[in-house]
Amino acid sequence: MVAVRDRPFERTVTMHKDSMGTVGFQYREGKIMALVKDSSAARNGLLTEHHLLEINGQNVVGLKDKETKAIIDECGDVLTITIMPSFIFEHMMKRVHSSVIQKLMDHSIPDF
């Protein structure tokens, strides 16, 4: 069993969707690859080479990009994401098989 209580270098960023419903970043397999210039993501300090951990408190580790996009699309105008530097994330996850992550991690929507 893997339990990570304190996620090192974790960072939370709050962004606002634009008139087209986007926040201004691209990701692949949970890794932030690019930021749109002058977007909410860029203005609020989102960083490339970081992995998405949570979106509005919902765990997205191990989800497919389509599933992550659906969560982002369902969010309101304000989006809060939690990220971690990719080199740390990859080091922590390198010995964990992806099927374990998908089956055993809680991806439920939190009650606030």
Q: Where are the domains of the chain?
A: 11-104
Shortest CA distance to 18 belongs to which of 60, 74, 61, 77?
A: 77
CATH 2.60.120.20 matches 11-104: no
32-87 residue pLDDT tens? 999 999 999 999 999 999 999 999 999 898 889 999 999 999 999 999 999 999 99
Q: How far apart are the first and last CA of the chain?
A: 27
Q: Residue 6: its pLDDT value, please? A: 62
C-alpha–C-alpha distance, residues 111 and 4, integer Å: 21
Please give the angle made by the CA atoms of 57, 109 and 100, to the nearest 5 degrees. 90
Computed over every residue of the chain, the mean pLDDT equals 85
Task: Give the integer Cα–Cα distance in Å for 7 and 11.
Answer: 9
